[in-house]
Amino acid sequence: MRIVLDALGSDNCPDPEVRAAVDAATEFNDEIILVGPERDLQRKLGSINGSAVKVQIVDAPDAITMEDKGIQLALKAKKRGARNSMAVGIDLVKNGQADAFVTAGNTGGALASAYYRLGLIQGLERPALTALFPVKDGHAVVLDIGANPDCKPEHLYQFAIMGSIYAQKVLSIQNPRLGLLSNGEETGKGNQLIRETSPLLEASSLNFIGNVEGKELFGGEVDVVVMDGFTGNILLKSSEAVAKLLVDTLREELMSTMRTKVGAALAKPSFTKIRKMLDPGEVGAAPLLGVDGLVFIGHGRSDAYALVSAIRVARQAVQADLLGAIRDAIERQLQLLPEIQEP
Amino acid sequence: MRIVLDALGSDNCPDPEVRAAVDAATEFNDEIILVGPERDLQRKLGSINGSAVKVQIVDAPDAITMEDKGIQLALKAKKRGARNSMAVGIDLVKNGQADAFVTAGNTGGALASAYYRLGLIQGLERPALTALFPVKDGHAVVLDIGANPDCKPEHLYQFAIMGSIYAQKVLSIQNPRLGLLSNGEETGKGNQLIRETSPLLEASSLNFIGNVEGKELFGGEVDVVVMDGFTGNILLKSSEAVAKLLVDTLREELMSTMRTKVGAALAKPSFTKIRKMLDPGEVGAAPLLGVDGLVFIGHGRSDAYALVSAIRVARQAVQADLLGAIRDAIERQLQLLPEIQEP
């Protein structure tokens, strides 16, 4: 198995990537392909004795950065023969020279590059950005968190299929509970999109438990939650902002007097679980579902540890043949629901 | 000034309401009208020596409860001569016998009752449920949090006007910063609704600072944030659920060993600010904006202290002539933007 790691992804790249490639190649005893500026990577690899392990470098002198946006980004992502690390890395997957691509870089860039270079799985209408949300006693698969601001019911239906398969194949949840995020749990609640999507999910063979709200999601009562990319993006960013507000406020208060400082020092082990819960590196990476190849996107703040976790997740997806399972399910879905085949 | 308090609102009604009526009448030296079962209220009032203060009781033998939903709720809310406490209380406002109605009861019930009994302000298309979100160093006015799952740009524009006036008149923020909740701050981001609403807000005389995300909202960088009721409801409930998850997790961890228990005891004062931040009673009540009368909805968990805060907020709105200011603004808006007058 060969996993490609974008050496120009994380905020502190390429050092965490070089370290992660060496660590992952050692841990998994399998080949890791680093894409990025060859000479630079070679030198850094040599300096940490990385030449001994199975790390291959494929040259990519350019990068898609956090500053790339809009048309400029689309051009970089689309251009045939582009030499940026995402293009080169994803082309390796496309050409069968690698099994999965992992990056901690620009999410929009990874989405656009994967979409243009790999195309979509046959029969699929939209790709979905996926996140693993920390919830009570575990994680929930949440999609779409931003690829499609406007969605149709069929899109959400396909997200539900992909998310459920991901939970099954990669997170090993046998019969993942699926929920549709809505403003109220009763059938009939929701906006037009929700009211049109619920019946599709109810009629499906998915384990649809109904419309859910924040309390079911964060309470760990559901494994996969689907929504349009506008709602999902707001959900993601607001949740992060609320957590930050609470943690910052508490930290400030704890540091305000000597007595509370002492209390905080004694209580320190209690904060570990919260910190882990809120650390995006803990989940490693989330898949970009729907494109015809395995692509995983980690957080920009990923360190080597988080990148190794990301590679581990990508390996699990390869081993479980995630892509094949989604391809099959979408094909079966098209046979079952011919009305969805319309363009 | 006369404020009507729904005696059958809060989860523990009517005791907190009776206590709040007495406390508010004493604090403000003004009349409070309690609506609910007359004999019962009279007895409870007598038992806490409430007869000495200006608390009037208006009989309402029935109630709209948390169990009332759908058509049943609509009928209770709509029926002419209905004897439930919301209907009776709101009719007092409609008939000019009171200046504002305050309830800690069923939000949907209050919305429906106010909508059917008071009607909308002339020229206004939709009422909006409003919430005061705890944010860094204060609160933000957020609307709509659930009255309108599907919205048009003109609705969001009117929410922006009403929210800005509320922030100005009741929260005394001179030139409230207005934001439009979106998935990304750049103009051009957003779903179709957002892309069509931004230009309306940009062309307005409101202090529109642009599209905002969770970090601006919870970071206290904006005073009023507008959105459709589906998105707003999900934002509200998810934020509450994230906060609950973090607080519950921390509490559990703090109680897990003797050492952390001691730390927690020492650090106790630090948790006060967080607790206050998350206590819905602290803000008292939020207005139902757009109906042709002043209606305030408090949290179901309100105690007497929270209900007095709610009455205080309602009084501020009466004193500032919130309703007149919104009426004027909507009228001016119709003159300025004739295309919005179309039915």
Closest in B135, B234, B277 to A183, CB measured = B234
Cβ count within 10 A of residue B120:
15
Amino acid B207: pLDDT: 96
CA distances from residue A262 to A73, A212, A253, B262, B267 in whole angstroms, order as listed: 50, 41, 12, 10, 8
Domain assignment present for residue B332? The answer is: no
- Whether residue B341 lies inside any domain: the answer is no
pLDDT at position A186, please? 74
pLDDT of B335 reads 63
Residue B247 CA to residue B238 CA, distance in Å, equals 14
Q: What is the pLDDT of residues A172-195, one digit of tens each?
A: 999 999 999 999 877 678 999 999
DSSP label of A301: T
Amino acid of residue B26: T
Query: How many Å apart are CA B238 and CA B218, to the nearest integer?
Result: 13
Report the chain B residue with the minimal C-alpha distance to residue A249: B274
Final residue of a structural domain among A279, A313, A333: A279
Strands B294-297 and B286-289: antiparallel
Interval B135-190: pLDDT, tens: 999 999 999 999 999 999 999 999 999 999 999 999 999 999 999 999 987 767 89
| Complex prediction ipTM | 0.90
Tell me the percentage of chain B whose pLDDT exceeds 70. 97
- Residue A118 and residue A152 in one domain: no
Looking at the fold, whether B141 and B254 belong to one and the same domain comes out as yes
Query: In this complex, which of A191, A230, A262 lies closest to B266 when CB atoms are compared?
Result: A262
Mean pLDDT of the region A164-176: 95
Q: B196 contacts in A (CB within 8 Å)?
A: none
In a domain, B9, yes or no: yes
Q: List all residues 6 or more positions away from A172 whose beta carbon is below 8 Å from its beta carbon.
A: none
Q: What local confidence, expressed as pLDDT, does residue B184 receive?
A: 83
Q: Measured between alpha carbons, how far is B152 from B232 in angstroms, rounded to an integer?
A: 14
Same domain, yes or no: B89 and B144: no
Supply the range of the domain harboring residue B250: 131-279
Domain boundary among A279, A310, A331: A279
Chain A residues within 8 A of B271 when measuring between CB atoms:
250, 253
Helix, strand and coil content of chain A, in percent to the nearest 5, comes to 50, 15, 30
What average pLDDT is seen over chain A?
A: 92
Chain B contact set for A238 (CB, 8 A): 213-214, 217-218, 235, 238-239
Q: Does residue B334 carry a pLDDT above 70?
A: no
The answer, yes or no, to whether residue A37 has pLDDT greater than 80, is yes
Q: Across residues B202-226, what is the average pLDDT?
A: 96
Q: How far is the first Cα of chain B from the last one, in angstroms, to the nearest whole number? A: 36
Give me chain B's average pLDDT, please.
Answer: 92
Mean pLDDT of A155-160: 96
Give the other-Cβ count within 10 Å of B339's Cβ. 6
Q: Is residue A180 within a helix (H) or strand (E), and if so which, with residue range?
A: strand A178-181
- Pick the closest to residue B81 from B68, B91, B94 (CA basis): B91
A236 in Cβ contact with A143 (< 8 Å): no
If asked whether residues B274 and B135 sit together in one domain, one would say yes
CB under 8 Å, gap of 24 or more: what pairs does B57-62 form? B57/B33, B58/B4, B58/B33, B58/B34, B58/B88, B58/B89, B58/B92, B59/B35, B59/B83, B59/B88, B60/B7, B60/B8, B60/B35, B60/B36, B60/B84, B60/B85, B60/B87, B60/B88, B60/B89, B61/B37
More confident residue, A334 or B155: B155
Q: Name the helix (H) or strand (E) containing B215.
A: helix B214-218
The mean pLDDT value for B76-89 works out to 95
Asked if residue A156 and residue A49 are part of one domain, the reply reads no
Please, are residues B248 and A245 in contact by the beta-carbon 8 Å criterion? no
| Structure confidence at residue A185 (pLDDT) | 78
Domain containing residue B116: CATH number: 3.40.718.10
Write down how long chain B is. Answer: 343
pLDDT exceeds cutoff 80 at B224: yes
Pairwise CA distance, residues A240 & A258, whole Å? 29
- Token pair 């209580």 is at which residue? A267
Q: Is the pLDDT of residue A41 over 80?
A: yes
In whole angstroms, what is the distance from residue B195 CA to residue B199 CA?
7
d(CA A321, CA A328) in angstroms, rounded, equals 11
Distances from the Cα of B90 to the Cα of A154, B61, B258, angstroms: 43, 15, 53
Are B221 and B229 in contact, with CB atoms under 8 Å apart? no
Of A147, A144, A145, A160, whose CA–CA distance to A115 is shortest? A147
Same domain (yes/no): B94, B214: no
| Minimum mean pLDDT range among A85-94, A128-137, B275-284 | B275-284
Across the range B100-120, mean pLDDT stands at: 96
Contacts of B192 in chain A (CB under 8 A): 149-150
* 8 Å CB contact between A164 and B217: no
Check CB contact under 8 Å for B214 and A263: no
Residue B337: inside a domain: no
CB-nearest to B266 from A182, A259, A268 is A259
A294-329 residue pLDDT tens: 999 999 989 999 999 999 999 999 999 999 999 999
Residues with Cβ within 8 Å of residue A236, at least 6 apart in sequence: A131, A133, A142, A145, A146
* Mean pLDDT, residues A269-274: 89
Residue B84 pLDDT > 70: yes
Answer yes or no: do B235 and A234 touch at CB < 8 A: yes
Q: How far is B149 from chain A (nearest CA, A)?
A: 5
Radius of gyration of chain B (CA): 21
Does residue B335 lie within any of the structural domains? no
B339 in any annotated domain: no
pLDDT score of B292 more than 90: yes
- Give the pLDDT of residue B342: 43
Predicted confidence (pLDDT) at residue A342 exceeds the cutoff of 50? no
Distance CA B308, CA B3 (A): 11
Q: What is the pLDDT of residue B161?
A: 96
Closest to B178 (Cα-Cα) out of B162, B192, B195, B196: B162
In a domain, B303, yes or no: yes
Residues A248 and A269 in one domain: yes
Over residues A24-35, the mean pLDDT reads 96
C-alpha atoms less than 13 angstroms from C-alpha of A252 in its C-beta half-sphere:
11
Question: Do A114 and A134 fall into the same domain?
Answer: no
pLDDT at A335: 64
User: What are the beta bridge partners of residue B87?
Assistant: none
Task: Decide if pLDDT at A197 tops 50.
Answer: yes
Cross-chain Cβ contact B228/A257 below 8 Å:
no
Which chain B residues touch A219 with a CB distance below 8 Å? 241, 245
Same domain? A96 vs A223: no
Would you say A320 and A169 are in contact if contact means Cβ atoms under 8 Å apart? yes
CA atoms within 13 A on the CB side of A142: 28
What is residue B276's predicted lDDT score, i.e. its pLDDT? 87
User: Tokens standing for A20?
Assistant: 């992660």
Q: Are residues A300 and A231 in the same domain?
A: no
Sheet holding A286-289, edge to edge: A55-59, A31-36, A2-6, A100-103, A294-297, A286-289, A128-135, A138-143, A224-226, A178-181, A208-212
Percent of chain A with pLDDT over 70: 97
Q: State the pLDDT at residue A225.
A: 98
Residues A303 and A245 in one domain: no
Domain count, chain B: 2
Model confidence band, residue A258 (pLDDT cutoffs 50, 70, 90) = very high
- Amino acid at residue number A167: A
Question: CA A314, CA A320: separation in Å to the nearest integer?
Answer: 10
Is the same domain home to A89 and A133?
no
A299 domain residue, yes or no: yes
Is residue B280 over pLDDT 80?
no
CB burial string B25-57: b at 16+ within 10 A, e below: bbebebbbbbbbbeeebbebbeeeebeebbbeb
Instruction: Give the 3-state secondary structure of residue A132.
Output: strand
Q: Which of B230, B242, B273 sits opposite A183 (nearest CB)?
A: B230
Residue A339 has pLDDT above 70, yes or no: no
pTM, two decimals, is 0.92
On the question of pLDDT at A71 being above 60, the answer is yes
